[in-house]
Amino acid sequence: MPKQVDHQERREVIARALWRVVEQRGVVHLTMREVAQEAGISLGQLQHYFASREAMLSFAMDFASEQTTLRVGRGLQGLGDPPHPRDVFRVMLLEMLPLHADSRATSRMSAAYVLEALHDENIHARAREGLIQGRDLVERLVRQAITDGYIHPDRDPVVETDLLLALTGFTTLVELGVIEPRGVLTAVDQYLDRLFTGDGSGAGGRDGGGGTREGA
């Protein structure tokens, strides 16, 4: 009997091959032919799954987002129940920064996708919508932390959301060796300590839950 092909698995193999092309050779080499060669399949086979470079890129970006979400989920499982919101934000931020092999691959994929979005209207619309949804999630978490007394009520949730997301700007500095990962961890921890001044009961001072200072 002919071997059954798991089409979703094949698409994921292609997506990971695309990540490797971006990570190892750069965006200029991101062609369907290069990705097919990296995936160990023919160009015709790749085109069976993705009719265009845009479709291939969009799937690879969606898959990267799914993998980041899975890593965040695994990180949250190691926290308290319920986890302190400071630790939730810490896990989310560290998985968005290129601090280990998996997050570095998805981070570089995201950078490549943004470059494409600047010159492709369809990709631009998809990328923008994804970022808006992600920002909305962060703002909801910030507002909830203020309501629960973990963040001082005089903090502006919109500004604090923007500042939290701005921490992902460490990506370029880490990638180019301007800042070491340890320095990023220190900066993230100190910023979160300044933001989270409550323990959820209206009293000042963090209650020490979570305990995730030891590094990424």
Residue pLDDT, tens place only, 125-140: 999 999 999 999 999 9
* Domain segments of the chain as ranges: 1-51, 60-216
CATH number, span 60-216: 1.10.357.10
Helix orientation angle between 85-96 and 181-195, rounded to the nearest 10 degrees: 150
Q: What is the pLDDT of residues 9-40, one digit of tens each?
A: 888 899 889 888 888 888 777 889 999 999 99
Tens-digit pLDDT profile for residues 145-162: 999 999 999 999 999 999
Mean pLDDT is lowest, of 60-69, 171-180, 192-201, for 192-201
Say yes or no: do domains 1-51 and 60-216 share a fold. no
Largest CA distance in the chain: 68
pLDDT band per the 50, 70, 90 thresholds, residue 4: low
Q: Looking at the whole model, is its pTM more than 0.85?
A: no
- Top-level class of domain 1-51: mainly alpha
- Proportion of the chain above pLDDT 70, given as a percent: 89
Q: Binning pLDDT at 50, 70 and 90, where does residue 198 land?
A: low
